[in-house]
Structure 1
Amino acid sequence: MPCRGRRLPDRKAADGPASEGNGASGSRGLEEGGTIRAKADHPKGAVLCFPKKSVGATENAVLFAVGAEGATRLEHCAREPEVVHLCRFLKAMGAEITGEGTEQITVYGRRGKRLLSGCRYRVPGDRIAAGTYLLMGAATRGHLTLSGAPLDEMGAVLSLYQKIGGQYTRKSGTLVADSKNVQHAVPYVETEEYPGFPTDLQSLYLAAAMTLEGKSCICENVFEDRLRTAEELQKMGGTLQICGKWLTAEKSRLHGAEVVSQDLRGGAALVSAALAAEGFSTIRQTELIERGYERFPETLRELGAKIIVEKEI
């Protein structure tokens, strides 16, 4: 299992799926050089409590518990929509799960040799992808329509969008957003667990903040490596200051530059800043971006962006 950017020091324990209960659940785990190896010959249900909330740890524990014998109670779980959708998908396949969307999830594992069965399941819209396009529209003062956006899961980003001057209407899963009046920065933004402002959209707001009047102070509480994108944005003329987990952004005259994607969301933020900047920008390591967005360059072209992908030349 490859590891992504480091969590802040006081949250690292959350990345290990319920480490306190591994022995009780019949599993053994070992970490070697950034790779986690785990084995469970006869997994059994247990009570597992996460020291910190973590989407990945919760999801892995749910998947493990579905295949274990007996009931497993997971405490201090992440409540993000992605966890809820995973549980609903497993329930559609025959799993018995209660409590998804709360801090306590109970999974009633397999009995005897009973296995999950196939099912038909509609994958819901991606709230982070929808938030990405919304904030890119804010950075470029664009107008866009998002169909199938999970609006009920986007409260934090929609609230921020309104605060900076964005206007939107919503109807039957469609979001129509108009950024022509986007103007003022939000003085303080803090990334939090759901339903707070998501860390995955911190870099996207940062790109937009550099086009706004005033100063934004951003506190990154989840992944410290998210701040690496700020260094690349400085190459484009971004007026940014980094101090620990804090970052301040001021209105900047952005210009084209050659920059490198540091991660999936940071790479999307670089594209957003490049679209808002004067001149031509080159962004390297775009494979990091494309692994998280379907038809990303094509979608942006359909919205009016001028983008050339080197492999197409």
Structure 2
Amino acid sequence: MSKLCIEGDTPLFGEVEIQGSKNSILPLLSAALLCKGICRFYHVPEIQDVYASIDILNYLGAKVTFENHRLEVDSTTLIRSSIPETYMKKMRSSVLFMSSLLVRLGKVEATKPGGCLIGKRPIDYHLQVFEAFGSVVELKEESILVRTKELIPTVIELKFPSVGATENALIVAAGIEGTSVIKGVAREPEVLELCWFLEEMGASIEHIGESVLVVHGLKKLNGVCYTVSSDRIVAGTYLSACMSIGGRICLRNAPIPFMNPILQLFASMGAEYKAYEDTLFFTMKKRPVAIPYLETAPYPGFSTDMQSIVMAMLARADGVSVIKETIFESRMEMIPYLRKMGATIFQEGNQAVIYGINQLTGCKVSATDLRSGAALAVAGVGAKGLTVIDHYAYLSRGYENIAKDLVQLGGKAWIAS
């Protein structure tokens, strides 16, 4: 079992190029199945969730090639409408393939999706989307069957701005003839990117970036070439590491337009930054100032994906911080490990109070999900001594090579077996 090792307490001075976005490419790969042709993607991250998606695409009958961050999907022929548990349990985003299969084949059967164990994450929102477009949902003991004689344009209001449900609704609406209205949508940058991709394929979408989308779909969509945006969470992780220990770093190919919430937050804590097109210079000269209260919320609010990562940085902040998690109820599983490193954190339900201290101490800890692993890496950068993070596989789901990136930023990190 691989481990991430970090020798911390060294200010960061260096630069790194930010990889393609995990949360963008996964829905794009599903949407690629809407066309009976070839889609080519560039700047694709070489991470485990992408390889899991490729396994699903191959199983369904698509032809896939992936090399040097370039991925080609030929979905001319699909031979299966079911996704076995073997593939579904690998990641949560596998549920996104249900929408494109429903459009292409009129039915889809799948088990409940897997991924990180960070809460209940019900699939109900997705099934309500399928029903709104004229599908019948049958809940079996071991699987979910969704079928339709004909998908029809609709007006749907989401009960919650779920990113995944929004993406499934967009994929269905874009792949059928007619106009659909989707209300209460998620406005995360990855949703915007899916809209742009679907428009490249031939659909037309009004009010992109707003809470109500009007989608003019087509039965026949075109294959396209598309460059994936950079990963804002990866960028935020490295900024958090710099916040934790200080230094001056440069992020190349950074998704700066999507990073305003985290940049403004860090600036309020004492950081300085300058942005030039897609290059970000970031400086932290002192201990970060504590945050009196921070609450996760759908975009443009504070991202739940960044919550645990920022908490790890706040463990060394000057003062007392409070964080409340409102999206996923189990996003704080890393707190016992931060305490093991010396952090003073009190948790009550989905809220944590962090009393910042001068110094964390490296030790052996374990990642419990993707973002908790990133949080422990940030803590390790700011800790004195060696931090060894078990279950590196979680980190490889979303980071191409976090050890290599930390080294490029001036840190000391490596992967050990």
Fold match (TM-score > 0.5)? yes
From 126, 136, 151, the counterpart of 1:17 = 126
CA contact (8 A) 1:210 1:239 kept: yes
Please give the alpha-carbon distance, in whole angstroms, between the structure 2 residues aligned to 1:35 and 1:300.
41
Of the structure 1 ranges 260-269 and 290-299, higher mean CA displacement relative to structure 2 is found in 290-299
CA distance in 2, matches of 1:158, 1:18: 36
Cα distance in structure 2, aligned partners of 1:141 and 1:34: 50
State the distance in 1 between where 2:205 and 2:322 align: 40
Aligned partners of 1:159 and 1:33: how far apart in 2? 47
| One-letter amino acid of the structure 1 residue matched with residue 248 of structure 2 | H
Q: 1:191 offset after TM fit, Å?
A: 1.0
Q: Cα 1:146–1:34, aligned 2, differ >3 Å: closer, same or farther? A: farther
Shift of 1:18: 6.3
How far apart, CA to CA, are the structure 2 residues paired with 1:300 and 1:34? 42
Instruction: Please state if 1:127 is matched with 2:236.
Output: no
Shift of 1:170: 1.2
Matched, 1:173 2:278: yes
1:212 to 2:321 alignment: no
| Equivalent position amino acid for 2:305 in 1 | D
| 1:76 equivalent in alignment to 2:181 | no
Q: Structure 1 residues 39, 108: CA separation in 2 closer, same or farther (over 3 Å shift)?
A: same
Deviation at residue 199 of structure 1 after TM alignment: 0.9
Structure 2 regions of 5+ residues with no counterpart?
A: 1-94, 96-112
CA distance in 1 between counterparts of 2:140 and 2:407 reads 43
What one-letter code is carried by the residue in structure 2 that aligns with 1:206? M
Q: Distance in 1 between matches of 2:227 and 2:213?
A: 22
Q: 2:172 aligns with which of 53, 59, 64?
A: 64
Change (3 A) 1:40 1:67: farther
Q: Which amino acid in the other structure matches residue 290 of structure 1?
A: S
Q: Shift of residue 68 of structure 1?
A: 2.6
Cα distance in 1, alignment partners of residues 139 and 243 from structure 2: 42
Give the secondary-structure state (helix, strand or coil) at the position aligned to 1:64.
Answer: helix
Give the deviation of 1:24 after TM superposition.
Answer: 4.2
Indicate the residue corresponding to 1:279 in structure 2: 385
Read off the aligned partner of 1:44 and give its amino acid letter: I
1:74, 1:106 within 8 Å by CA — same for their partners in 2?
Answer: yes
Q: In structure 2, what is the equivalent of residue 190 of structure 1?
A: 295
The CA deviation at 1:302 is: 1.2
Q: For residues 304 and 298 of structure 2, what CA distance do their matches in structure 1 show?
A: 8
Matches within 5 A, 1:1-313: 1=95, 2-4=113-115, 16-17=125-126, 19=128, 22-30=130-138, 36-110=144-218, 114-252=219-357, 253-311=359-417
Cα 1:29/1:297, change in 2 over 3 Å = farther
Distance 2:152 2:339 in 1: 51
Q: Give the Cα–Cα distance (whole angstroms) in 2 for the partners of residues 185 and 97 of structure 1.
A: 41
What secondary structure does 2:384 align onto?
A: coil
Q: Secondary structure at the match of 1:270?
A: helix
CA contact (8 A) 2:288 2:314 kept: no
Deviation at 1:210, TM superposition (A): 0.8
Separation in 2 of the partners of 1:97 and 1:166? 38
- Post-superposition CA distance 1:160-204 (Å, at most 9, x none): 111211111111221100112343211111111111111111111
Displacement of 1:267: 0.7
Q: Name the CA shift for 1:306/1:39 in 2 (closer, same or farther; >3 Å).
A: farther
Equivalent AA in structure 2 for residue 86 of structure 1: L
* Secondary structure in structure 2 of the residue aligned to 1:237: coil
List 4+ stretches of structure 1 deviating above 4 A. Answer: 4-9, 12-15, 30-37
- Which range moves more in the overlay, 35-44 or 249-258? 35-44
- Quickly say closer, same or farther: Cα 1:38–1:306, change in 2 above 3 A: farther
Instruction: Describe the superposition over 1:134-171 as per-residue Cα deviations: whole angstroms up to 9, x where unpaired.
Output: 11110121211012222222121111111211111111
Q: Which has the higher contact order (CA 8 A, sep 6+)?
A: 2
* Cα 1:35–1:87 shift into 2, 3 Å: farther
- Give the match's secondary structure for 1:273: helix
Q: What is the alpha-carbon root mean square deviation over aligned residues?
A: 2.2
Instruction: Tell me the alpha carbon deviations over residues 232-269 of structure 1, each in whole angstroms, 9 at most, x when there is no partner.
Output: 21221211111111101112331122211111111101
Seen in structure 2, the aligned counterparts of structure 1 residues 34 and 60 have a Cα distance that, compared at 3 Å, is farther
Q: Distance in 1 between matches of 2:402 and 2:141?
A: 32
SS in structure 1 opposite 2:165?
helix
User: 1:15, 1:57 within 8 Å by CA — same for their partners in 2?
Assistant: no
For the residue of structure 2 that corresponds to 1:249, the secondary structure is strand
Which amino acid letter does the alignment assign opposite residue 126 of structure 2? P
Residues 208-250 of structure 1: per-residue CA shift (max 9 Å, x gap): 1111110100011111111112122122121111111110111
Q: Indicate the percent of aligned positions where both proteins have the same amino acid.
A: 36
